[in-house]
Amino acid sequence: MGHSARTDGWRRWLSLLHKENMSNSRITPSYIADHIRRVLKDGGSAPHSEDVQHFFKEVIKSRGWYTAELRKFAVRFRRSIARERGMDFVVQVADQLFSGPILEEKAMAVFLVEKQTKNFGDNEFQLFDSWLDRVTNWADHDALVHDLLGPMVVADPARCREVFRWAKSPNRWRRRAACVALIRGAREQRFADQIVQLSNQLLQNDEEDDMVLKGLGWLLRESAKADATRTLPYLIKIRKTAPRLVLRTACEKLPAPARKKVLQKRER
């Protein structure tokens, strides 16, 4: 199905939904989520779903939607339904969608509520926290943590307590979440002490999972970009013990002389 046909399809669906009368008691979050799943399935592209698989080591299930198109659908839906039922209803729809194995359903869930986090509180944070146990791949994870949980940690630094709880979890995605949730703060030169504490905690525990190590490297890279003066000495301090993957990722955006200073001992 082509782009215009998919677009026309979900626009028609939104129109029909309003004609059904949004005050109707049968219009529940589950009912709406099922309709969205149908639109995603009917509007998918099989060739693109095969292309998407190339980005993952594990087998995934994709409907073959392009990200920009899916986000446009989500934004239009959020505005329409929130106007009729409120954001609490939209959050409940998102909760229904962030389950199961379908990539676009989980992405749709995040798109429905991203950029709305300033209006959310601890109840929503706890709900999104629970979604970590439904993550099946890095795309699910990074959308959830970077676009929902991360901004909420920045909004209320007391939530860093949860970050350190995640870091102790046997669930690899929670340990990666501990790193990714601090990235937005790192870009604002915040959480410097917490970043060092978290890094030390993971390194002292001899973390070996690639997804977690890449997450830690990503966090340190963003910290180095935002505040190299503070981060570079820390990278030099850990260069003899930190996994090569972490150091290489952390140094990607540093000037060549600084990068060499961090990596040279590892490459002799």
The three-class DSSP label of residue 61 is strand
Cα gap 216→244, rounded to integer Å:
12
Please report, as a single letter, which amino acid is at residue 222.
Answer: E
How far is 265 from 227, CA to CA, in rounded Å?
A: 23
The pair of structure tokens assigned to 138 is: 């890095």
- The pLDDT tens digits for 12-45 are 666 656 556 555 667 899 999 998 999 998 887 7
Tokens of 25: 């008691």
Is residue 194 a contact partner of residue 182, using CB atoms and an 8 Å limit? Answer: yes
Domain boundaries, the chain: 1-113, 128-268
pLDDT value, residue 267: 46
Q: What is the pLDDT of residues 161-193, one digit of tens each?
A: 999 999 999 999 999 999 999 999 999 999 999
The answer to whether the CB of 224 falls within 8 A of the CB of 186 is no
CATH of domain 128-268: 1.25.10.90
Predicted confidence pLDDT, tens digits, the chain (268 residues): 455 545 555 566 666 565 565 556 678 999 999 989 999 988 877 777 778 887 888 877 889 888 999 999 999 999 988 988 999 999 999 999 999 899 999 999 999 999 999 999 999 999 999 999 999 999 999 999 999 999 999 999 999 999 999 999 999 999 999 999 999 999 999 999 999 999 999 999 999 999 999 999 999 999 999 999 999 999 999 999 999 999 999 999 999 999 999 998 544 4
Q: Which two tokens stand for residue 211?
A: 């997804």
136: its two tokens: 């099946």
pTM score, whole prediction: 0.89
What length is written for the chain? 268
Longest distance between any two alpha carbons in the chain, whole Å:
70
The whole-number pLDDT of residue 57 equals 80
